[in-house]
């Protein structure tokens, strides 16, 4: 405590000597800099607090999509690695070994170099006729809502929030499982569709298309965002694949034999018997992977993606309030990770209780 008091006094004296007033009043001053990629409107005249919110949203966006996609890909790779196909198992093993033993920063440099090496829009690489890879980003199909007062991003955020609340209610009631989660999602989608129909709001599906020297329509993922998301998904899908493999192998082989004696095929055995028991091993380690993915998204500053770290660093450089900016950064990441950890621990507790009850 004495050391902390001494350091605090020393920092305060130093800041006053160089003409910097300690405090967080600077967050209300104008930024006077632009942000290359923003989900919400932002101009150079907006205050620093809004710039920090923009960085937070960018970080949450890439972390959320990264966790979902890495989990989906990791489960598929983990299950494929245990298949009887020797070639597939060997490919999975090589994939995991190469990805896990390569630094994430090096992988990000590779993906951003690849993203910048794509051709111009006029010579864009087309995938499935609706996805275009260009040096200006990745163009994917999008959904647009006409005459929607709150806007499609806000409507999506509101729907996601309602779905999260429903999942929390299922957690509290002890009825959370894959079937109930899917039914809750279908119920929300049905309710949203009914509201849009009654409100006579037109929902259109827009695919990108080449128009002159550019691509119009659809949604554009910037090269930096696409490279960061790809790097995080590839890296942590390999980690989650190993976790899934370990969880599945922790289930006694007698469970497989008993399920086969009941006439279940391998898909049913995996879904109904093995994975529910393996979750007790998979969930805690996957939680750590989610936290690591969220923290490692801060490497975005190395490839130019304006995440929370990048914007807070710019804030510290332009205001001189380095200590306050660092405290904001620490507090924000701490809040994010504690929230994710609390949600995953609650889910893990439900899984563990069901396992003990059996």
Task: State the SS3 of 72-124.
Answer: HHHHHHHHHCCCCCHHHHHHHHHHHHHHHCCCHHHHHHHHHHHHHCCCCHHHC
Predicted confidence (pLDDT) at residue 348 exceeds the cutoff of 50: yes
Region at 174 (left for phi over 0; alpha for psi -120 to 50; beta for the rest): left
Token pair of 4, please? Answer: 């902390």
Percent of all residues in the chain with a pLDDT value above 70, rounded to a whole number: 81
Q: For residue 163, name the pLDDT band (cuts at 50, 70, 90).
A: low
pLDDT at 207 (0 to 100): 74
pLDDT at 42 (0 to 100): 87
pLDDT at 237 (0 to 100): 94
Q: pLDDT for 61-117, tens place per residue?
A: 899 889 989 998 998 898 888 877 888 888 999 999 999 999 999 999 999 998 888
Predicted confidence (pLDDT) at residue 341 exceeds the cutoff of 50: yes
Report if pTM > 0.85.
no
Predicted confidence (pLDDT) at residue 174 exceeds the cutoff of 70: no
Token pair of 318, please? Answer: 């332009």
Task: Identify whether the C-beta of residue 243 lies closer than 8 Å to the C-beta of residue 78.
Answer: yes
Q: pLDDT for 227-280, tens place per residue?
A: 999 999 999 999 999 998 888 888 888 888 888 888 887 777 877 788 778 888
DSSP-based three-state secondary structure for 320 = coil
pLDDT at 153 (0 to 100): 56
Mean per-residue pLDDT over the chain, rounded: 81
């Amino acid at each position: 405590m004495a050391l902390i008091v001494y350091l605090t006094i020393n920092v305060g004296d130093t800041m006053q000597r160089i003409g910097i007033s300690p405090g967080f009043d600077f967050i209300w001053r104008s930024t006077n800099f632009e942000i290359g990629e923003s989900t919400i409107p932002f101009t150079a005249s907006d205050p620093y607090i809004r710039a920090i919110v923009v960085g937070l949203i960018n970080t949450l966006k890439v972390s959320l999509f990264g966790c979902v996609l890495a989990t989906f890909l990791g489960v598929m790779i983990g299950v494929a690695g245990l298949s009887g196909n020797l070639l597939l198992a060997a490919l999975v093993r090589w994939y995991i070994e190469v990805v896990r033993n390569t630094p994430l920063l090096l992988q990000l440099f590779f993906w951003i170099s690849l993203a910048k090496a794509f051709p111009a829009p006029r010579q864009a690489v087309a995938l499935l006729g609706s996805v275009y890879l260009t040096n200006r980003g990745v163009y994917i199909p999008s959904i647009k809502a006409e005459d929607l007062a709150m806007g499609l991003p806000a409507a999506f955020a509101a729907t996601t929030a309602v779905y999260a609340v429903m999942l929390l209610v299922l957690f509290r009631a002890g009825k959370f499982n894959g079937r109930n989660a899917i039914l809750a999602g279908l119920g929300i989608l049905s309710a949203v569709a009914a509201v849009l129909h009654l409100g006579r709001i037109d929902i259109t599906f827009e695919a990108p298309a080449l128009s002159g020297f550019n691509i119009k329509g659809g949604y554009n993922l910037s090269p930096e965002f696409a490279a960061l998301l790809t790097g995080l998904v590839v890296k942590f899908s390999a980690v989650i694949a190993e976790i899934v493999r370990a969880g599945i192998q922790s289930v006694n082989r007698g469970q497989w034999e008993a399920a086969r004696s009941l006439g279940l095929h391998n898909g049913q055995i995996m879904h109904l018997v093995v994975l529910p028991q393996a979750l007790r091993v998979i969930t805690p380690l996957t939680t750590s992977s989610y936290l690591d993915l969220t923290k490692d998204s801060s490497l975005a500053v190395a490839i130019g993606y304006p995440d929370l770290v990048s914007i807070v660093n710019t804030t510290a450089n332009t205001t001189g309030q380095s200590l306050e900016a660092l405290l904001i950064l620490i507090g924000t990441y701490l809040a994010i990770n504690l929230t994710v950890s609390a949600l995953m621990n609650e889910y893990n507790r439900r899984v563990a209780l069901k396992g003990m009850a059996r």
